[in-house]
Structure 1
Amino acid sequence: MPEFTVNHTPRPWREGLTVAAALADEGRVPESVATALNGAFVPRARRADTPVQPGDELTLIQPITGG
């Protein structure tokens, strides 16, 4: 079965997978993370139409607040 990774953890890939769908599969609130696909930033407005392919690396970045 083809795979992609989320923060270096293998996940099963499926036809039609997008960054937005992968976030939903991970149970992440879209507003709570920044996303990068293969090292390139993916803005929130582009997540639903940005496809994830087998072998891709999706990085989820949780902003840190405080000081």
Structure 2
Amino acid sequence: MINKNLLMNMIWERGFTTEQIAEKLKLEQDILFKKLEGSEDCFTIKEVQAMVRILEMEGTDAVKIFFA
């Protein structure tokens, strides 16, 4: 399970929209939302790595978000 609130805050703080993140991950926006809610398959390792890179996350941030 991910920490959705921390991830959403980081997306907004970095100046992105969920639509932009979905596009960068090559996901439909509704699939991104389902993954955020936990009602779809979880994020793949590639998707997590891409988000860490796109959002310029520190290692500790990634752990707090993706290993909540």
TM range (shorter): 0.3 to 0.5
TM-score, length basis structure 1: 0.34
Q: Does 1 or 2 have the higher relative contact order (CA < 8 Å, sep 6+)?
A: 2
Higher fraction of helix: 2
Choose 1 or 2 for highest CA Rg: 1
Higher fraction of strand: 1
TM-score, length basis structure 2: 0.34
